[in-house]
Amino acid sequence: MSAVTGQHPAARPLVMGVVNVTPDSFSDGGLWASTDAAIAHALDLVAQGADVIDVGGESTRPGAARVEVDTELARVLPVVAALADAGVRVSVDTTRAAVAAEAVAAGATIVNDVSGGLADPGMLREVAGARVTYIAMHWRGHSRTMQDLARYDDPVAEIAAELAQRRDAALTAGVDPGHLVLDPGIGFSKDATHNWAVLAGWDAFEALGHPLLLAVSRKRFLGHLLARPAGPNGLELRPPAGRDTATAALSALFARRGLWGVRVHDVRATADALAVVAALEAAT
């Protein structure tokens, strides 16, 4: 039984540590933009308890411009290869089939596609052929336009139905059902109210029949939740690095109901939260 396949969810969720090799990601942009800094940070996250490192080379921050495929490859491949050589389980965060293919050849065993196969018509065939774990996220459009697409009458029902379509497309393309993980896509074409609705309506995503990834780490809706009054009518959002305790709280709450994994920036806080859940469950 492999802890990284979708088929057999681990006893506790996998902790996926985020390493964005980008100058402009919203939460850690620029911090790990060089290959060496990214590798060192990833190894640090492993030491703190990460089971998987998710390496991304294209920012998905709302409004971000796309990068060329060669730029994305140059950012992620050396990091993926070095980590895989060091024995680390690696996920590649990409919407491009070509990047997925090269990252898998360099040692990645998970493809994390925020577009669920919509951005690149070759992606589903690629991951089906590569027989790797595939994370399909709910998505409505690229970063430039995604917040204009945050319109729903019934967010949970619509998001679950759209994610079910991505599930079906992946299975039709030949992705092994045991290799498919789904993610409702917190913050992607969703405002804070939509995000809380998705979390409160998690049953609808569990009903899709595949293990789930929770990816709330440092997202803007947590900045709103923890905002403080500033100026006459304004609010000052809590900055991204101040959102880790709230992230770990959600990790613990959702771990109790069973998850495939949690994607986080602050690995230690979530690993500690998951240890608390495991101890409580062991004593129950």
Return the active site residues. 219, 263
Nearest distance from residue 182's CB to ligand PMM, in Å? 9
114 touches ligand PMM by CB under 6 A: yes
In angstroms, the CA 72 to CA 93 distance is: 10
26 touches ligand PMM by CB under 6 A: yes
Provide the mask over 211-240, with x wherever binding to ligand PMM is found by CB under 6 A and - wherever it is not. Answer: --x-x--x----------------------
**Residue, CB closest to ligand PMM:** 215
Phi and psi, residue 23, nearest 5°: -85, -10
**Torsion sign across C-alpha atoms 188, 88, 68, 120:** negative
Q: Give whichever of 101 and 186 is closer to ligand PMM, judged by the CB atom.
A: 186
127 touches ligand PMM by CB under 6 A: no
Provide the mask over 171-210, with x wherever binding to ligand PMM is found by CB under 6 A and - wherever it is not. Answer: ------------x-xx------------------------
CA distances to 17, 26, 60, 123, 239 from 63, rounded to whole Å, are 24, 10, 8, 23, 18
Q: In this structure, what token pair is assigned to residue 138?
A: 């709910």
Judged by CB under 6 A, which of 89, 138, 167, 263 binds ligand PMM?
Answer: 263
Provide the mask over 49-68, with x wherever binding to ligand PMM is found by CB under 6 A and - wherever it is not. Answer: -------x---xx-------
Q: Give whichever of 112 and 189 is closer to ligand PMM, judged by the CB atom.
A: 112
Q: Where do contacts with ligand PMM occur on this chain (CB under 6 A)?
A: 18, 20, 25-27, 56, 60-61, 93, 112, 114, 135, 137, 183, 185-186, 213, 215, 218, 263
